[in-house]
Amino acid sequence: MDEIDEQTAPMPAGDPPSAAFVASGDAPERKAEEITAPKPATPPTPPTDKKKPAEHESVIETVKTVVYALLIALVIRTFLFQPFNIPSGSMEATLLIGDYLFVEKFAYGYSQYSFPYGLGPISGRVWAGDGPQRGDVIVFKLPRDNSTDYIKRVIGLPGDRIQLINGQIYLNNKAVPRVHAPDYVEDDVLGTPRHILRYRETLPNGKSYLVLARDPGGLENNTDVYVVPAGHYFMMGDNRDNSLDSRFAPTGKGDVFDRSDGVGYVPAANLVGKAEFIFFSNDGPLWEFWAWPWTVRFSRMFTSID
C-alpha cells in the first residue's frame, strides 16, 4: 500500500503576515496533503469454461472414430471378406442351417454386386483372374432379381454340357465318379434318427465333396442336356433333392424344371465371392445366447469349406 506523503507548504510571496498575527503565535501551520489517488479496481476476469470445449472435442473425436471404423468395415466387406449365414438346407451336409461363414470377395475379381446393394460403378467383372473352378462353393446374386444371395457349388463352366441320369452327373458326356459314403444321420420332427444316402463325388479337376440323395427316384434326378452359355456357370446344391439351383429356370417350357422362382445359368457378373471357412455355427436362434453352451457347434467353428 502506498504511504501518504505530508509536506509543509511554502509561504506565499507578498506582504508579510501581520505582527499581531505573528505575535499572537496563533497562526495555524498550513500544510498540503498530497494523496496518491487509488488505482481503479480491475474487474475480475470471468472464469473460463474449459469443460464445454473439452466435451465438444471429445464428441468430435468419437464421431471420427465411428466414421473411420465404418469406412474400414465397408472396405473390408467390399474388397476382402463378407460374412454370411446359412438360412436353408440346400447345401446340407456341407453347410448347415445356422452356419456363419466368410466369403472371399477378391477370389474372382469384382463386379457391381461386390458393392452393397449392387451399387458398384463396374460393368461386367474386373480383375477376374482365372475365375471359378469346378467344385468351388460360391455366393451369387440370384439372376431372377439380382438381389437375393444364393450359395451353391459350381458344377459347369462356360461351354460345358451337363445332364443328370438317375442322380448321376454326366459332364461333357462322361459320368462324374461317385462312391457311397457313410449315411448322413439326422433327426426327424419327432426326434427319431433318419438315415440319408450320401455319396462322394469327384470332378475332373480332382475336387471331391459329399452330396446327399434324399429321393433317388425324384424327377429332378433325370434331366435334359444343359449347355452352359458363355460367361455363365451351372450351379447345384449338395443336398441334391432339396435344392433350387441351375436345373430349374423360368424357361417357359412348362415342364418340371420350369419354375418362376428358378435359378438357371448364373452370369459371371452376379458372382459375389468364394465361401472359404465357417467362423461360427449355432443350432438354434442366435439371439438365445443363454442356450449357446448347448446349441453352439464348436466342432464346426473355424473349419474350411470343401
**Which of the following is catalytic: 114, 152, 246, 274?**
152
Pairing assessment for the beta strands 161-165 and 266-267 based on DSSP bridges: unpaired
pTM for the model = 0.77
Cis peptide before 93 (omega within 30 of 0): yes
Residue-wise pLDDT tens digits, 190-246:
888 999 999 999 999 999 999 999 998 888 999 999 999 999 999 999 999 999 999
Q: Which residue would you say has higher pLDDT here, 103 or 72?
A: 103
Q: Is 90 a catalytic residue?
A: yes
Could you tell me which residues are beta bridge partners of residue 140?
150, 271
The pLDDT of residue 80 is 80
**Which of the following is catalytic: 90, 111, 246, 281?**
90
Q: Which residue would you say has higher pLDDT here, 69 or 175?
A: 175
Q: Is 263 left (phi over 0), alpha (psi -120 to 50) or beta?
A: alpha
Q: Is 152 a catalytic residue?
A: yes
Distance CA 43, CA 124 (A): 74
Q: Which residue would you say has higher pLDDT here, 87 or 114?
A: 87
Residue-wise pLDDT tens digits, 90-110:
999 899 999 999 999 998 988
Q: What is the DSSP letter of 255?
A: S
